[in-house]
Amino acid sequence: MAELRWNPLLKDWHMIASNRQNRPQMPKDYCPFCPSFGNVPDYEVMEYDNDFPALTQNPSEPDPVGNEFFKVAPNYGKCEVILYSPGHTITMPQLSDSHMRKLVDLWCERFSKMAEDKKIKYVFPFENRGDVVGVTMPHPHGQMYGYPFIPKRIQVEAESAKEYYSKNGKCLFCEMLNQEKKAKSRIIFENEFYTVYQPFYTDYPYGVYLIPNRHVAYLTELTDAEKDALGITVRDTVGMLDSLFDDRFPYMMCMYSAPVNAGDYEKDFHYHIKFFPPMRSAEKQKFNASSETGAWANCNPTCPEETSKELRAAYQRYLQNRPAQNQ
What are the pLDDT digits (tens) for 189-199?
A: 999 999 999 99
48 and 81 Cβ atoms separated by less than 8 Å: yes
- The reply to whether the predicted model has a pTM over 0.85 is yes
Model confidence over 58-84: pLDDT tens digits? Answer: 998 888 888 999 999 999 999 999 999
Supply the pLDDT for residue 63. Answer: 83
Supply the pLDDT for residue 85. Answer: 98
Residue 237: phi and psi, rounded to 5, are -65, -45
117 and 62 Cβ atoms separated by less than 8 Å: no
Supply the pLDDT for residue 27. Answer: 72
How far is the C-alpha of 210 from the C-alpha of 272, rounded, in Å?
A: 6
Supply the pLDDT for residue 28. Answer: 76
- Which of the residues are catalytic? 141
How far is the C-alpha of 236 from the C-alpha of 314, rounded, in Å?
A: 11
How far is the C-alpha of 260 from the C-alpha of 49, rounded, in Å?
A: 21
Question: Kind and range of the H or E element at 281?
Answer: none
Give me the architecture of the 2-326 domain, per CATH: 2-Layer Sandwich (3.30)
Percent of the chain with pLDDT over 70: 96
How far is the C-alpha of 180 from the C-alpha of 174, rounded, in Å?
A: 10
Which of 29, 240, 276, 237 minimizes the C-alpha distance to 139? 29
CA 131 to chain CA centroid, Å, is 17
Supply the pLDDT for residue 20. Answer: 53
Supply the pLDDT for residue 323. Answer: 74
CA 210 to chain CA centroid, Å, is 11
- Residue ranges of the chain whose pLDDT lies below 70: 1, 19-26, 325-327
